[in-house]
Structure 1
Amino acid sequence: MVKESMDDLVAFTTVATQQSFTRAAAQLGISQPALSAKITALEARLGVRLLTRSTRSVSTTEAGERLFKSIGPHFDGIASGLAELSELRDKPAGSLRITSVEHASQTILLPALAALLPDYPDITVEIINDYGLADIVADRFDAGVRLGEQVAQDMIALRIGPDFKQYVVSAPAYFKRYGKPKTPHDLNAHRCIGLRLPTSGGVWSWPFQKDGRELKVRPGAQLAFNTMTLQLDSALAGLGLGYLPEDVVKEHLAAGRLVRVLADWSAPMSGYHLYYPSRRQPTPAFSLLVKALSLQRGEFRRN
């Protein structure tokens, strides 16, 4: 196949993966018109429509999906083969693409990368924070980070964080105005700050546990966000009750900016795990990341 055709196939797989011409063009380092021209040329050459475009989204047609599933693994293999050549360099090189959640990225991934990347300037890392359950194979991620119970059984999973608890909190001014809930069922009468889940479009149900009894409550959320930072800011502003990890709120609790309620109902969360397909051969860059996370895991075990 001539080089121009290969370039067009790379362009197609990037658009199909990103589901966006804007993001794909940025990843490829070309303009959107140039990218669109490549896709149009490929469709004309093949005689079929590969992508369905709208003002807000891009998706593959039936023909496009068949092509993507057919050639995608081959491009992954090429990328892995090129990455393996970094073993012959003085220091490994390569790119890593990880789907994670905001809390894990801030508390686990960034500290590990801060220890790793200064010594390996040719390794690049992209972290996509998303509270949905991404298909890391279809979406072409190298790995994902989620809570233990969220990891599919056919994945290799490495625990990288300790168990932790979620706290129901808000500012003192909120409780002065609305009072305190005595049980999780009382939350339905309170103003709550929800976490929006992109996969289902719903709001995350808050888990609770007491004396061996477990329950989940999906409180009516007057406010809902897809980032933990805005949830915390809203709780500090007294706009409602937030349900946030202990380490995120402990300094604010100690300073009196937040007050905790339903302490006897706190449910332990199963800790974050790094997961990736068992059939994928780790690249040197990925192996270094796993090593960095393993060292960090040793630190939290000692603590």
Structure 2
Amino acid sequence: MTPAEEFQELRPLLFSIAYRILGSVSEAEDAVQETWLRYEGAATRPASTKAFLSAVVTRISIDVLRSARVRREQYVGEWFPEPLLADPYQDPARSTELADSVSMAALLLLERLSPLERAVFVLREVFGFGFPEIASAVRRSEPACRQLAVRARRHMDEGRPRFEADRKERRELAERFFDAFREGDVDGLRDLLASDVAMVADAGGKAPLWGRGVFGDGNVARVLAAMAAPFDRIGGVVQPHEMNGQPGAIFRDRDGRVVNTLTLDIYEGRIQTIRSVLNPDKLGHVGPVADAWAVVREANDARRPTD
């Protein structure tokens, strides 16, 4: 197998490592590309290509995360990870860890960790790397990595998100949710929401804030129902789509351009949190991006009665 073929075979793993460390599709793709350039330019071939490439992409991701943290501190409003339509890396032996670790809630929890803690946690708890490999990747001693892993696991366990184990039940509840949304059915929506449900959005100051800081089943149900009819009247389409391993949807304008994405956190048969990403900078990998301001203006006009 040629170096290029080996790299392509490992690319899904490398992207999945980088995305969990960075919470950004675009930055993860850049980290993977930089990893290839370093691998291609290496004077000798490593004994283990997987270990070498995993270590390189981890180090690059740690460096990128350190600089990204400064930008995130200055971010306008809520910051969410870039939505991931599908995880390219699959491992049946670690399917639960992979699915749990890519959810919006888990990625936001990972934001509480230091870059080193986050990298160690991802490599150890999500991908099952041994401590000798992790120590080499982050350039710390094995005892230091074990301590980092303990601290990271403790932080994660304190706030670990809880989801329904049965994916079929989650999918069916999400289908009922989007049916009720399309119909503008306030009561139907309220029946699916937790009493303390939160609906929050990431617009980054670059899009209108749909659903920012709306709390409680009654308020959220009314806001959602009020959105549905005008969005439908202007040709908007709600496309159910799994997002970050959780039920969700892509909202598109009449021309198929992406307005926003939506993800649902479901626990004990109720929707606990609804997160929407509207920042156009985070949606380019989903498809051509709509002008959300124009969509909202048109939807607001559609609310007004005509003579």
Q: TM-score, normalised by structure 1?
A: 0.26
Higher relative contact order (CA 8 A, sep 6+): 1
Is the strand fraction higher in 1 or 2? 1
Structure number, greater radius of gyration: 1
Is the helix fraction higher in 1 or 2? 2
Q: TM-score, normalised by structure 2?
A: 0.25
